[in-house]
Amino acid sequence: MTANSNPPQGQNTNDFSMDDFAKALEQEQYDYHFNKGEVVKGKVFQHDSSGVYVDIGGKSPGFVPLSEAAWQSFHDVSEVLPLDGEFEFLIIKEQDSEGQVKLSRRQLYIDQAWDNLTEIEEKGKLVQMLVTGVNRGGVTGQIDGLRAFIPKSHLIEKESLDDLLNQTIPANILQLDRGQNKIVLSQRNIAKSSAMAQLQENQVVQGKVVKLQPYGVFVDFGGVAGLLHVKQISAGHIDSINHVFKVGEDIKVVVMEIDTVKNRISLSTKVLETYPGEFLEKREAVMENAEERWANHSAKKEEN
């Protein structure tokens, strides 16, 4: 009896070919699981009246509502998310039943702006705020799209607040609360922050002695003071700091460390000595060629 090689009536041998099987495996391989809070990269391929569709490599495109397309205002979404443009997006809603995720450029920018402000606060640097509003308590404004406030008591200009509108003004971060979306700034320490920004570690600078203490000397550099600790004045013996320095005199020192977190600047003149006690015996000579001495000291340190 000969076997029937014909398939049963109505059955197609090509219902599921090897090509179909390969495609199914490929689809499974790229069926990514996207989680809320993750950052993904995608390519814009379609605009419509409600938002933007982005290819992020999943089985369905990601969707960016118009309200999440950018942190700033725009007339046409193509201005901020043009077709074929590749961008990073933050997932703000996980996959729905069709596998589509909701994306945001606005929230990603805001998160990055908060990260940037946190770093600025840690380093004690200045920020630039665009003043957008004035009230009895002070002025409000924006820093990289984030809303900020400067109390009137913390402003340099306290009388004509209206003159500050649409002006960009420098300030220090007084309070930063990401959870409460709260940013409070101050202009009280601008001179100090500016002066500190001008200083660099391992640099010889000239300052003025402003205060003497048993443990050291405070030296001012135009709005910010550093400490020349008694142990960093000289390798020689010091009976009394008052016998070595006078308030108001100029002195050259080496900036050894700038700690912006603790708001502390550490200084030294001992590192300029070629032998213990030289600063105490030949102070004028040490000061006269302080830069050359420090360069030689640094060169020897690198050799070792």
Domain containing 61 — which CATH number?
Answer: 2.40.50.140
How far is 85 from 82, CA to CA, in rounded Å?
Answer: 5
The predicted model gives 214-230 an average pLDDT of: 91
Pair (172, 248) in one structural domain: no
Q: Indicate whether 4 belongs to any domain.
A: no
The per-residue pLDDT for range 249-301, each reduced to its tens digit, is: 999 999 999 887 677 899 999 999 999 999 999 999 999 999 999 998 888 77
How far is 243 from 202, CA to CA, in rounded Å?
Answer: 27
Pair (218, 283) in one structural domain: yes
Residue matched to tokens 């015996």: 281
Pair (137, 87) in one structural domain: no
Structure tokens at 29: 């391989």
Q: Indicate whether 278 belongs to any domain.
A: yes
- Structural domain for 147, as ranges: 126-188
Q: Indicate whether 119 belongs to any domain.
A: no
The Cβ of residue 169 has, within 10 Å, a number of other Cβ atoms equal to 20
Q: What is the pTM of this model?
A: 0.53
Specify the number of domains making up the chain. 3
Pair (211, 171) in one structural domain: no
**Predicted local confidence at residue 234, as pLDDT:** 94
Pair (296, 206) in one structural domain: yes
Pair (161, 206) in one structural domain: no
The Cβ of residue 100 has, within 10 Å, a number of other Cβ atoms equal to 19
The per-residue pLDDT for range 196-218, each reduced to its tens digit, is: 777 889 999 999 999 999 999 99
